[in-house]
Amino acid sequence: MLPPPTYDDVIGAAGRLDGQAHRTPVLTSRTANEMTGAELFFKCENFQRMGAFKFRGAFNALSCFDAKQRAAGVVAFSSGNHAQAIALAARLLGMPATIVMPEDAPAAKMAATRQYGGHVVTYDRYAEDREAIGRRLAEERGMTLIPPYDHPHVIAGQGTAAKELFEEVGDLDFLFVCLGGGGLLAGTALATRALSPKTTLYGVEPEAGNDGQQSFRSGAIVRIETPRTIADGAQTQHLGHYTFDIIKRDVDDILTVTDAQLIDGMRFFAARMKIVVEPTGCLGFAAARDREAQVRGKRVGVIVSGGNVDLERFGALIAPSHPDPNSSPSR
């Protein structure tokens, strides 16, 4: 088993990602500042390659492979951003990638993964266990399995986004970070404790899937059923062992927001800042808005984690809700 990652591993990851990942922009918005009374800094990973921070962890993990691992390639199980991140990173590094996806995964996601050069293997999500399939492929074909969050090299890679943020804007009073399985939050925690140790660091989950909050407050990893939420990047059932140990030690608290608050966030980002943010990417901002009294007058960072949402779904989510969108007032 690999040792848990430290901030030195984040520095190492930043070196490997140099010239490969985008150094994403930090946006500001006078309207957002007026709304919250805070000075907000948005680290916009929706502009990262393949549209989310996951490229950082994936590329770092694959860059650490030895020659034998490179030849056999990587296997990952995911229907979301991790799949695309692994497929793209593998292509850039010239190694084969096999992605295990449920056979009913959205066609657009399968197509995107294939477009990046990933070999897609499907399974029946009601009858088969994707982790077992991933492990079997790894064993039979010598491939290396890279999980979406609970891996030291993935965590170190995800930490490079916060490293860039602190290097660009300096110390922050607060930092709000989306939380699924905790790769982004754990990596961010390593960077935060090294670069701006006094920052109050919050992880933010969808209210319907608050396993991270329960785990943080009880001191042991809590497992839940797949939560019903529009934040599909945070539909994880439990934190990882590496991620939880770091989160327990270095994070101040885990907050939750509702799907309605995420939709408000998507609307704000589109209307005011002209950016497309997927529901999960709005978790941090929604929580910062919710904590207006606490953040007023403070310097506040928000990691906007990704922008991968089908345009049709995006339109449906941000549209003002009508009882029947097809009925016209005159009828």
Ligand X SMILES: *Cc1c(COP(=O)(O)O)cnc(C)c1O
Other CB atoms within 10 A of residue 117 CB? 15
Bridge-based pairing of strands 74-77 and 144-145 is parallel
225 is annotated as an active-site residue: no
Quick one: 31 or 115, whose CB is closer to ligand X?
Answer: 115
From candidates 184, 251, 266, 286, binder to ligand X by CB under 6 A: 184
Q: Which one is catalytic: 54, 57, 180, 290?
A: 54
220 Cβ contact list (under 8 Å, min separation 6) = none
Helix and strand counts by DSSP (H, E) for the chain: 15, 10
Alpha helices in the chain (DSSP H): 7-17, 30-36, 54-63, 67-72, 81-92, 107-115, 130-141, 152-169, 183-195, 211-218, 241-250, 259-273, 283-290, 292-295, 311-318
Q: x/- site string to ligand X, residues 210 to 249, per CB under 6 A? A: -----------------------xx-x-------------
118 binds ligand X (CB under 6 A): no
From candidates 152, 157, 181, 206, binder to ligand X by CB under 6 A: 181
Q: Which residues of 229-242 are buried (b: 16+ CB within 10 A; e: fewer)?
A: bbbbbbbbebbbeb
How far, in Å, CA of 212 to CA of 39, rounded?
A: 27
Q: Which one is catalytic: 45, 164, 211, 250?
A: 211
Q: x/- site string to ligand X, residues 262 to 291, per CB under 6 A? A: ----------------x-xx----------
Q: Which one is catalytic: 63, 79, 196, 215?
A: 79
Give the range of 24-32, 123-131, 173-181, 284-292 binding ligand X by CB under 6 A.
173-181
Quick one: 5 or 181, whose CB is closer to ligand X?
Answer: 181
How far, in Å, CA of 51 to CA of 45, rounded?
A: 7
From candidates 188, 213, 235, 305, binder to ligand X by CB under 6 A: 305
Binding site for ligand X (CB under 6 A): 52, 54, 80-81, 148-149, 178-185, 233-234, 236, 278, 280-281, 305-306
Q: Which sequence positions are flagged as catalytic? A: 54, 79, 205, 209, 211, 305
